[in-house]
Amino acid sequence: MFSPSQLLVFAGLAVSLAECALVAPANKGVPATISDPADFNGTTTDTSAIASTAQQVDQKSGAPTDVAPNQPVADTTVTAVDGDLVNATVASTSRRSLTGAASHLSRRNNSNYELVFWGTGTGPNDRDASIEGTAYLTYTVVSNATYDIDDCLAKCDSVDGCVFANLYYEFNNPGLDHQFSEGSNLKCALYADIHNATEKTNFGGQQLYPAPGGLTYIQQSSGWAAKSLVDPATPSGYDLVFGPTNGANNAPGYMGFAFLDKYDVDACATLCNQRGADPVGGACQYFNIWRAVVNGVPTTYTCSMYYIVADESTAVNYGQGSLVVTESRGYKRQNIVVDGGFEGYTCDDEGDDVPFCFTASYANWQGTSPAGGTFDASIFNYQPYAHTGSAVALLGSAFDFDSLPGTLAPTQSLATHSGASYTLQFFHSSFYSGQVDEANATLAVIWNGQTIDTLHPGFAQWTPHQYTVTAKGNDQLQFTGGNAPAYVFVDDVSLYPL
């Protein structure tokens, strides 16, 4: 019978013998330890949570009774995050106008409107109601002399993002009657989404004059919508992938969702940029924004975030129950690093089921070895070694000829802007040689000649790393490390504008 200590000795001997038999990567070796596959398939969109939260959130509003007209349009507000109702303003770092040009429903030209519903309520016992709906912007008042439709629509033309105007009289409001300088009670409420008569739910009823003064009431509430709409401007640092369609993404790499009080692609991009890194997939690389219509009424604007770039093939969520998906668009972050996944390096021999080849350099990346070193930095096209795809970079002598560190760098300087901030992300692993021989694995991350971090991970499965860097323009990025048999793999390198 062996004692526990004897068993540990034999176990250590077995590991050592196994690792002595390790075949170098250049000889198509099999890792001593198999890497755990990334759990991408278990992170698909949580459509049920989005739908149930949409039934709870209330984003409807209209022109207030106690606020002067012509107020600035408020910044976009987050009303829910991952199922929890919140109330937070989006602090955009790249916004042109969170309430303006980024809005999805923008006119092609001015004064191009159509009547959606005509106002009623013209007598003492005949009342109407104003709109309470999503994406309220601001309100103005127009002359009491006539039912001034043209001036109301001209105001909508002048407010970025406005596509719908609700014109109505509001009576028994002392602010409109006496206090506000405009001296009119004909209100023109502006929205960044189109509404219908079923949303006329504000009948007044506020006691604004001291009793026995009458309660507020609404008459002649009409609505006009812009006839012709255009796509929103693509957010800075992103590319449009698809849209608009009536299907939202149901895709892997899902990181969560937020509801916005307006359809605002810039705000959604900001949320993606600021989303915390997923422990498996890293930074947000893609978002899907869409408009939820419940029972025919615009209800909220969903921003779903992903660490895997999706496309229209997974935009198959058309809604659940009374919720219908509309105005769905997908955007991916622009990667400043050319070919950050090394997929530009391919094998000439396509006959193998799993191609295998390697090189010290190719068009997009170059590996260099110090004096006396051989293939201390290289690029492999071999799917079993890669994090995603088929290609990956290796630091450490590919033939196990030496124990010197290699250096990996893009062949061209990065097309950055001086003074701008970026998120640098990459994935690394050091599992190839097993627990013992990977103990001395190291990796230095170098930005413009300065080491921003030196990792001593030892044995490690695929792990994302993320840093914020400031550009000088035409920046240089390098990875240095590996000392065979303590191999370090690097994959999926990205540099995203913030």
Q: Give one DSSP letter per residue of 115-146, joined into a string.
A: EEE-----STT--B-EE-BSSEEEEEEE-TTT
3-state secondary structure of 169: strand
Mean pLDDT within 278-295? 94
* pLDDT surpasses 80 at 303: yes
Give the model's confidence band at 111: pLDDT under 50 very low, under 70 low, under 90 confident, else very high.
low
Give residue-wise pLDDT tens across range 116-151: 999 988 777 789 999 999 999 999 999 988 999 999
Given a contact cutoff of 8 angstroms between Cβ atoms, the answer to whether 18 and 434 are in contact is yes
Rounded CA-CA distance 459/31 in Å is: 12
Averaged confidence pLDDT in the chain: 88
Structure-model confidence comparison of residues 194 and 15, the more confident one: 194
Annotated domain spans of the chain? 47-58+231-333, 105-228, 338-497
Contact 163, 191 (CB under 8 A): yes
8 A C-beta contact, residue 468 and residue 383: no
Could you tell me the pLDDT band of residue 103, with boundaries at 50, 70 and 90?
Answer: very low
pLDDT > 50? residue 359? yes
| Residue position matching structure tokens 């970079």 | 393
Nearest alpha carbon to residue 447 among 406, 404, 413: 413
pTM over 0.75: yes
Q: Would you identify the CATH topology of the domain 338-497?
A: Jelly Rolls (2.60.120)
Which regions of 307-449 does DSSP assign to beta strands (E)? 319-320, 323-333, 357-359, 365-368, 377-381, 391-395, 406-410, 421-430, 443-447
3-class secondary structure, 199:
helix
pLDDT mean over 408-432: 96
For residues 252-259, average pLDDT: 94
The average pLDDT across 73-97 equals 77
Percent of the chain's residues with pLDDT above 90 = 76
**What distance in Å separates the CA atoms of residue 429 and residue 443, rounded to the nearest whole number?**
10
